[in-house]
Structure 1
Amino acid sequence: MSTRGSKTERRSVNSSQEYEVRYLAEKLGVSSQAIGGAKRATGSNDRKVIEKYIKDKNKAN
């Protein structure tokens, strides 16, 4: 039995796949540009790291 995609792929956000960025942006209630900024600020493509960064940033404001 084969599954599509790997767990590693599901954990990361690929900037060249606009639907991934748009999904995460809608989920967190921010713009796609904010997702790109979070990726640059954290230096990570990991979805959990980006979500934590944005949530912490929103708490500070």
Structure 2
Amino acid sequence: MSDDKSKRGPADAQRINVHETYEVRYWTEALGVSEARLREVVAEVGVMADDVRRALRKH
């Protein structure tokens, strides 16, 4: 089953999928970070949104 690209938010609100443009757009706006920073933090702590939020608060 394929993703519905017309959706603006993430398919799974607990995970950040940096391989989908619409999800990257959503998360960069929701977290107030650049795409590069989002990808960097996801690479460091994984795809769980709570872990990414925690890491962003630390810095």
User: Unmatched 5+ residue regions in structure 1?
Assistant: 1-8
**Richer in helix (by share):** 1
Identity among equivalent positions (%) equals 23
TM-score, normalised with respect to structure 1: 0.67
* CA–CA distance in structure 2, aligned partners of residues 38 and 53 of structure 1: 7
Larger Rg: 1
Runs of 4 or more, structure 1, over 3 Å off, are: none
> CA deviation digits over 1:2-60, x for unaligned, max 9?
xxxxxxx3310111111112211112221011010001111x11011111111211xxx
- Matched with 1:36 is 39
RMSD: 1.2
Q: How many residue pairs were aligned?
A: 48
